[in-house]
Amino acid sequence: MSKERSDPRCDTLRFGEPWEKLELLKELEEIAKDCRSAADKVSRNGLTAAERERNKPWREFRRRIGFPLFELVLDMAQGGRSESRDVAADILAHLWHPAAVDRLVEDIKENADTLLGTQFLGIFINLGGIGTEVAARGLISLWEEPLWRPYITEALEACGSKAGEAFLMTQALENKDPYVRGSCISRLNSEVSDKKINFLQEKLKRGESFERLAAIKKILEMRLTSMAPDLMNIYNTSSDPALKEIRETLRSMRKR
């Protein structure tokens, strides 16, 4: 006998009354929250993309409830609109499963004005946690709302995707708002490349104060000791008191 046939919960999701399905989904949502809480306790810093993927909470959830029941939740989350579909999609969002991206983007676009603060922030946290190229593109699709941009840049950093990194670099170069440019600089990943080094050097020389501060912090984060002379030159010639933070950057570089 297959595991699906031996698990009455599968029959409930397939053939149960709407209230029975909802009741079971609420129980499964509690399990999902427990899996997420366990995952949140593990730092993702320093993990490779493959390690992050292996540690996604949906994998533990699938192990706990079994493949057949998990597949039914997945199918329900991607079905037509209904209360059961919404709960199933919320389960996948808690678990950082890629199938939740459309539901999360849809929720923020349609309900941003009525969401509680924690719910609003949670959507961006979940999209960043999902971290796929699809999640990054979903975040980018929200960019037209200026008030959401700080949350979007943070979530794109968490995604660690190529599409998200390319978008952050484009905005750091081309956006008309220096605060947005600086925010995007601060959210770039720490991978060293000639293009990124040249970009940071240019921002140190010609960027506005907020951009230059972001570039300084990124240089320290990337441990670019080769740029210490550029920083020293700015420290010695700039009249901007905010840029005196370079002193601490230089001191930190000498310690490394």
d(C-alpha 124, C-alpha 97), whole Å: 14
Q: What is the 3-state secondary structure (H, E, C) of the chain?
A: CCHHHHCHHHHHHHHCCHHHHHHHHHHHHHHHHHHHHHHHCCCCCCCCHHHHHHCCHHHHHHHHHCHHHHHHHHHHHCCCCCHHHHHHHHHHHHCCCHHHHHHHHHHHHHHCCCCCHHHHHHHHHHHHHHCCHHHHHHHHCCCCCHHHHHHHHHHHHHHCCHHHHHHHHHHHHHCCCHHHHHHHHHHCCCCCCHHHHHHHHHHHHHCCHHHHHHHHHHHHHHCCHHHHHHHHHHHHHCCCHHHHHHHHHHHHHHHC
* The pLDDT value given to residue 246: 67
- What span, in angstroms and rounded, lies between the C-alpha atoms of 62 and 148? 33
Residues 6+ apart with CB under 8 A from 209: 240, 242, 243
> Both tokens of residue 141?
């699709």
**First CA to last CA distance, the chain:** 61
What's the confidence (pLDDT) of residue 248? Answer: 66
Structure-token pair, residue 236: 């010695």
Q: What is the pLDDT along the chain (256 residues), one digit of tens a residue?
A: 444 457 889 999 999 899 999 999 999 999 999 999 988 877 666 667 677 778 889 999 999 999 999 999 999 998 888 889 999 999 999 999 999 999 899 999 998 889 888 889 999 999 999 988 999 999 999 999 999 999 999 999 999 889 999 999 999 999 999 999 999 999 999 888 999 999 998 998 888 888 988 998 898 888 888 888 877 777 777 776 666 666 666 666 665 5
CA 99 to CA 77: how far, in whole Å? 8
pLDDT of residue 160: 87
The two tokens of residue 18 are: 């709407």
Contacts 24+ apart (CB under 8 A), 137-144: 137/163, 138/101, 138/102, 138/104, 138/105, 139/164, 140/164, 140/167, 141/105, 142/105, 142/108, 142/109
Residue 1 confidence (pLDDT): 41
Dist CA 70 CA 58 (whole Å):
9
Global confidence as pTM: 0.83
